[in-house]
Structure 1
Amino acid sequence: MSHRGRRMAGACINTAVAGLLATGGALAPAQREATGSSSGTRVAVGAYLHYGSPGVNRMQGLSHWLGGTELRAGHTYLPGDTWSNIEGEPDSLRSWARWREERADRLFVLNVPMLEDNEGGVPDDQVAELLRSGAQGAYDHHFRRLAERLVSLGIPDTVIVLGWEMNGFDYTHRCRPDPENWKRYWRRIVAAMRSVEGERFRFDFAPNRGIDAIPWTRCYPGDDVVDIVGMDSYDQPPGNNFDEQVTQPYGLQQQVDFAKAHHKQISYPEWGLFRRGDNPEYMRQMLVWIADQKPLYHSITDYCPHGVWQCSRNPRSAEVFREFLSTDPDRRAASRPHP
């Protein structure tokens, strides 16, 4: 989903969230932690709540709404408008660094664009030229600066979701115009960031579910420069129902199988409702899938139309989400389908 959409959604929900906080939505500190599955395997639960510092502030409110379930995955995005922002200029990174440092078991997840003007509708021929330049090292210094900033802020173990949804049509950092140079460019970025002393970054390769503009396997840059195989998956075609979202070419099952074959963890950096509106069955099936697959983390996109806490359009799905992520075993069991 676009950063522009996230900024607009963040502005629209300020008033609603202020009301939640005023009525006690963030008064109780997190006391419990979700397991993510009935087996007790810990999965870091997260949500995208706002692109800036308000996203940090809202974490406690969502945790309280979930009955105290701790959100261990904090998720935000660097703007892709200018190189200075991609270098980590946004002040909100300081807020996220403070949040991350409060507990050793938290994950800070940061989506990083690979090119500036990332939502500028740049045509394919220009994208191909930019990718060639990146593959030749023209932009290495921007990513070294980002790495240096993250290390200096005390978040050297950030999960970097680099060039997300690269198999799509929209972002300037898309893969289709030149897959081979896209892969070379990814490798240069990882090398540049890993060259900074003190870094412990993990790099998350996260395509859209399905083929989209190009099969995402054609964009995979190599096991030595990927730590996590993620997937962004919303309730929308391709796939007329959740089962088809699992079994379709380059769908959820292929992601799991691919990651296993390459000895990688999986993640779901973006997921949520979309084209089919308030769909509690999708919500239940996606949460069961996540619990059964045990990703490193998952992060619901929590604004309208995708979300459940900051969006009043999806009350039935919100109830499923809330019950499933409760740490009360009876409530969690009640939210799972019976055999």
Structure 2
Amino acid sequence: MSRRARRLVGVCAGMVAVGLLATGGALAPPQRPVSEGDGGGEVALGAYLHYGSPGVERMRKLSRWLGGAEVRAGHTYLPGDTWTNIEGAPDSLRSWARWREAGADRMFVLNVPMLDHNEDRVPDERVAQRLRSGARGDHDHHFARLAERLVALGVPDTVIVLGWEMNGFDYTHRCRPDPENWKKYWRRIVAAMRSVEGQRFLFDFAPNRGPDAIPWTRCYPGDDVVDIIGMDTYDQPPGDDFHEHVTQPYGLGRQVEFAREHGKMLSYPEWGLFRNGDNAAYMRDMLEWIAEHRPLYHSITDYCPHGVWQCGRNPRSAAVFRKFLSRSDHEP
């Protein structure tokens, strides 16, 4: 998602977990080791509609617009401005937790920054320093606190989209300045969050589509600390059309292959229109790709210029989206 639209303001562990964090020892295996898709279950439709409580209200309205199709994946972001917010301070989390608890088949998807000042254009040298600090465990307590809050709110099964778009140039939590310490830091975060009693989190590794600043495979932290291979993908370069989005290096095709090789589920936490405007062909192609490959969930970024319901600029694409997803079986 674009930086300008997502600027939101912007347990202590048991002795065994502490030992693992201190020594960098092996972690528990993934909690839900599955292959592509989610065992043949229905793909969860989601949309990013607003980061706070208004997003919860809009979920029901989007469902009505889709003829009653259930929007099962509630998707929001923690602000990356301060550690307090990364620890889960925003009051809107309570609204999302109540929404999640109201439906047994619902899914709460939360993007979690790995560092504060995440959109402040921090230079590479400073990013590398901060990644080394994270790899040493200096920030473990922030993520243990977040995990405690999520469990206390009744959403211990939250999908955590951690350090999203790490292969890009912009976010402070980017991987390129020090890939090895980035991976070590991811592992520490997962260990800290899994150390909290009652948690059942799923961790979603979600790069940008394409090569970007660094091949996203160089940032992959290991099968034992990743449950889902996601991808953020918009109708924009690299790639002039959807076929190139699939076949380009580190594109959609590589994502599917990588997930299959590693026994992971797929997801699309962010997708939508962009550089090519109201592109009904892209909308149809992406929805058919999702129907074919059956990710755990997908979430369209629904504001201008990316969206179809809250953005009136894209009527042809909106018609495709609405017709496709209003069908009870969600098939093309």
**Aligned-partner Cα distance in 2 for 1:92–1:148:** 16
Specify every segment of 5 or more residues in structure 1 that has no aligned partner in the other structure, as ranges. 9-36
Name the TM-score, length of structure 1 as normaliser.
Answer: 0.87
User: In the alignment, what sits opposite 1:25?
Assistant: none
Measured after TM superposition, the shift of residue 2 of structure 1 is 3.8
Q: What residue is the counterpart of 1:283 in the other structure?
A: 283
* SS of corresponding position for 1:135: helix
- Percent identity of the aligned residues? 78
Amino acid at match of 1:326: S
**C-alpha separation between the residues in 2 aligned to 1:227 and 1:41?**
16
Provide the residue aligned with 1:20 in structure 2. Answer: none
| Separation in 1, partners of 2:288, 2:226 | 26
Tell me the SS of whatever aligns to 1:70: coil
| Alignment partners' CA distance in 2, 1:63 and 1:143 | 33
Quickly say closer, same or farther: Cα 1:328–1:84, change in 2 above 3 A: closer
Displacement of 1:4 in angstroms is 3.8
Match of 2:79 in 1: 79
Identify the residue that residue 70 of structure 1 maps to in structure 2: 70
Q: Are the aligned partners of 2:227 and 2:264 in contact in 1 as well (CA < 8 Å)? A: yes
Q: Equivalent residue of 1:161, what SS?
A: strand
Task: Report 1 or 2 for greater relative contact order, CA contacts < 8 Å, sequence distance ≥ 6.
Answer: 2
Contact 1:6–1:50 (Cα < 8 Å) also in 2: no
1:162 and 2:152 matched: no
1:102-181 to 2 correspondences below 5 Å: 102-181=102-181
| Amino acid across the alignment from 2:178 | D
Shift of 1:327: 2.3
Partner Cα distance (1:3, 1:153) in 2: 28
- Count of residue pairs brought into register by the alignment: 302
Judged with a 3 Å threshold, the aligned counterparts in structure 2 of structure 1 residues 139 and 281 are, in CA distance, closer, same or farther, namely same
Match of 1:47 in 2: 47
The alpha carbon displacement at 1:302 in A equals 0.1
- The whole-number CA distance in structure 2 between the counterparts of 1:258 and 1:7 is 31
Q: Secondary structure of the equivalent of 2:326?
A: coil
Give the CA deviation at 1:261: 0.2
State how far apart, in whole Å, the 2-side matches of 1:56 and 1:121 are.
31
Q: Which residue in 2 is equivalent to 1:16? A: none
Q: Using the alignment, how far apart are the partners of 1:137 and 1:129 within structure 2? A: 13
Report the CA distance between 1:5 and its aligned residue: 1.2
Query: Contact 2:69–2:328 (CA<8 Å) still a contact in 1?
Result: no
One-letter identity of the residue aligned with 1:226: V
TM-superposition CA deviations, 1:99-156 (whole Å, max 9, x none)? 0000111100000000000000000000000000000000000000000000000000
- Please provide the CA RMSD for this pair: 1.4
Which runs of structure 1 show a deviation greater than 3 angstroms over 4 or more consecutive aligned residues?
A: none
